[in-house]
Structure 1
């Protein structure tokens, strides 16, 4: 059963990777800009003091403009820092120049950036390979986010382009549920705040 779920996840990741490769640059730029605008309009964003946000890779929502805006809005921003396989922490940055290519080539805070404890974070912007409108997330297979989120209480907002969303996500017991789904078509609230 578990092996079957893992295989289904692997196949879905492969399918989504193909779909992402077929997205036009124009679509991605427009979708990402709309998603960023929706995030900035969220009451959870406006009320948050400390925000956890990933630095998007080439195939993900481009979050660097969002991080820059958060910093200019006076928010304290934390970005994932991978320690080892499946083990990450969030480190606070003061500017985009604090981000350097880290493990897997993903931009990450430098070693000198302070750790941001999970219980001090108000809002988390979470990446995905794909997700659905029920807030179920398929990550990239490393388990980093599910492990980190398991011990966290902040509001979880998943960012995903509509064209790579899928209806059925193979879910295991350790897979963490999201509170809000944001795509270019709108905001879906799954948990009342």
Structure 2
């Protein structure tokens, strides 16, 4: 996908997401910094109506920290931007919505990530398992069925540049 097409599709995802009830009713949203050609959510981050959280990879777990535009970031061992360790942490009970980066998602809500299992472990833990989760992908990555493993956790919705699909 060209850089121009990627930007246009990412912007359309952000526009649709901003209009969704899942988004407008949230106060604290966990998101991600785009890696490789994942959809870019940076246009959303200027909205100071929300408290934004971003992950830090520590060992085999994701730890969530507050971040606001203008604050510096570091690059982790995977090459992904993340807040510094001194940024305020976000506890599960504060979170209203999790925007989950995905390589692909299927019609049952299962996602394919980069294989580290970070989100599967997070969403399997009792304090996180009932949080609203939305996979963020491009239409071309929305598939009828992905292979799954017993530890995979389905997402509650999937957003693409053309639609929101709520998983029953």
TM-score (norm. length: structure 2): 0.91
Asked if 1:117 corresponds to 2:91, the answer is: yes
Structure 2 residue matching 1:104: 3-state secondary structure? coil
Superposed displacement of residue 115, structure 1: 1.4
User: SS state of the match for residue 143, structure 2?
Assistant: coil
Matching of residue 50 in structure 1 with residue 28 in structure 2: yes
Give 2:144's aligned residue: 167
- Aligned match for 1:61, one of 39, 43, 64: 39
Mapped to 2, the partners of 1:81 and 1:119 lie a distance apart of: 18
Alignment partner, residue 80 of structure 1:
55
Separation in structure 2 between the aligned mates of residue 57 and residue 68 of structure 1, nearest angstrom: 19
Shift of 1:120: 1.7
CA contact (8 A) 1:98 1:113 kept: no
Shift of 1:96: 4.2
The alignment status of 1:182 with 2:159, answered yes or no, reads yes
Unmatched runs of 5 consecutive residues or more in structure 1: 1-22
Q: Is the 8 A contact 2:6 2:37 kept in 1?
A: no
1:133, distance to aligned residue in structure 2 (A): 2.6
Map 1:11-160 to 2 at 5 A: 23-69=1-47, 72=48, 74-84=49-59, 86-151=60-125, 152=128, 153-160=130-137
3-state SS, counterpart of residue 16 of structure 2: helix
Shift of 1:164: 2.4
**Greater helix content:** 1
Structure 2: tracts of 5 or more residues without a match: none
The separation in 2 between residues aligned to 1:173 and 1:98, in whole angstroms, is 38
Does the CA-based 8 Å contact 1:53-1:67 persist in structure 2? no
